[in-house]
Amino acid sequence: MAITAIYRSALAAAGLGLMAAACADNREAVELPEPASGHSVSVETVVDGLEHPWGLAFLPGGDVLVTERTGQLRLIRDGALVDAPVSGVPEVLALSQGGLLDVALAPDFEETREVYLSFASGTAQSNNTALYRARYEDGALLDGEVIWTSQMDKTGGAHFGARIAFMGDGTLLLTLGDGFEFREEAQNLANHFGAIVRLNRDGSPASGNPLAGEDGALADIWTYGHRNVQGIAIDPETGIVWAHEHGPRGGDELNIIEGGQNYGWPIVTSGLDYSGARISPFTEHGDDYTAPVREWLPNSIAPSGLAIYRGEAFPNWGGDLLIGALAGQALHRVVIADGEAVAEEMLLADEGRRIRDVRIGPDGLVYVLTDHANGALLRLSPTD
């Protein structure tokens, strides 16, 4: 049976159609207590003048690479933005949410100089998320090649996913979105909609992917049933893979990512469609779908960027998750205990800026990118 038919059959079994009755938004807000032991924080601007920055990576020696969604890779040196963009960047589809997206260094960067870029490729009528690998040498990407392209071939400029994270075994995870208009396909293992893939560094499917043996499944899929994952990070102490994804109207999720799992979108969700209609009557994940650790209800914070704090500058934040919020215009610190979210603090809420990415610097300080036409790299330091 086609995946769309399966989805509609599941809804019909509950006596509801795909666009179940639009109703008053009576979902309850899920509030967590504010942590009792945080830090007072000072915020300074490292650089501004970035055009919709999306991702950043710290180079050995202190330089910083920053992607701009419009297609440029920028270099920050000695606290200043270098005028000339880094050369050798692939051509991107800068359309709506698409463009040049994440940047990550290979774990052995100091030996190989390998840099990975994710980006939207193609045209408005036919596009995908792609992965590019090149060698970085002082302001230039050399010997670059596209090593992987998603099998989505979607229309429009929404929901590319595109965050990159390297696992301890040297393989990498790349997150993807459901293309917005193609949400039912997030349950279809024959394409990459709504998936997280696990790849070797040459773009080939990594061995041991648990879904590779299923009939018709793509060999590189690690997990599926996601909406639009724009934050992923691996805890260096526990090895736990954390990711969050956008809900529609509410229902943003924070998840622990485990290979082979189905995270339920769009069959099970607490979010509403933008019309106010229920996307699905099912809000309980049961045994078939992996439940989130945290949901944001009734409103979406639009999470983007995720870092796990393991540093010395903020001793009270050890193991906490730092999550950027676009719609929420804040940095969320989520306290985790035994795999559960137990407390939450909002930082930078008085800044009034969309937070696109968050990373922990080599100095143990927190760095965030603001998503604006005149975006900035900010640095957070403790004041106590």
- What is the chain's Cα-based Rg? 20
Output the average pLDDT for the chain: 93
User: Which H or E run includes 233?
Assistant: strand 229-234
pLDDT at 176 over 60: yes
Mean pLDDT of 313-321: 96
d(CA 36, CA 76): 36
In the prediction, which pLDDT does 37 show?
Answer: 80
In the prediction, which pLDDT does 38 show?
Answer: 85
pLDDT at 12 over 70: no
Question: Are 53 and 66 a contacting pair, CB within 8 Å?
Answer: yes
* pLDDT level of residue 254 (50, 70, 90 thresholds): very high
Question: Are 199 and 220 a contacting pair, CB within 8 Å?
Answer: yes
d(CA 349, CA 363): 24
Mean pLDDT of 110-124: 98
Residue with tokens 């919020």: 325
Residue, of 198 and 213, whose pLDDT is higher: 198
* pLDDT level of residue 30 (50, 70, 90 thresholds): confident
φ/ψ bin of 84: left (φ > 0), alpha (ψ from -120 to 50), beta (otherwise): beta
Any catalytic annotation for residue 159? yes
Q: What percent of the chain has pLDDT over 70?
A: 93
3-state helix, strand, coil in the chain (%, to 5): 5, 40, 55
pLDDT at 10 over 60: no
pLDDT tens-place string over residues 38-49: 899 999 999 999
d(CA 122, CA 157): 10
Tokens of 19: 């666009």
> How far is residue 80 from each of residues 49, 64, 83, measured CA to CA in Å?
10, 10, 9
* pLDDT level of residue 25 (50, 70, 90 thresholds): low
pLDDT at 361 over 70: yes
Instruction: Exactly one of 39, 52, 159, 246 is catalytic; name it.
Output: 159
pLDDT tens-place string over residues 200-251: 999 999 999 999 989 999 999 999 999 999 999 999 999 999 999 999 999 9
pLDDT at 193 over 50: yes
pLDDT at 339 over 60: yes
Q: What distance separates the 2 farthest-apart alpha carbons in the chain? A: 62
pLDDT at 1 over 90: no
In the prediction, which pLDDT does 24 show?
Answer: 44
Question: Are 367 and 324 a contacting pair, CB within 8 Å?
Answer: no
Tokens of 164: 């990159």
What is the pTM assigned to this prediction?
0.93
pLDDT tens-place string over residues 130-174: 999 999 999 999 999 999 999 999 999 999 999 999 999 999 999
**Beta strands, E only, 272-329:** 294-296, 303-308, 321-325
Tokens of 151: 């099998």
Q: Measure CA 257 to chain center.
A: 12
* pLDDT level of residue 26 (50, 70, 90 thresholds): low
Residue with tokens 């792609």: 130
Q: What percent of the chain has pLDDT over 90?
A: 90
What residues contact residue 213 under an 8 Å CB cut-off, 6+ apart? Answer: none
Residue, of 2 and 346, whose pLDDT is higher: 346
pLDDT at 262 over 90: yes
Given CA atoms 204, 207, 210, 212 in this order, what sign does their dihedral have? Answer: positive
* pLDDT level of residue 109 (50, 70, 90 thresholds): very high
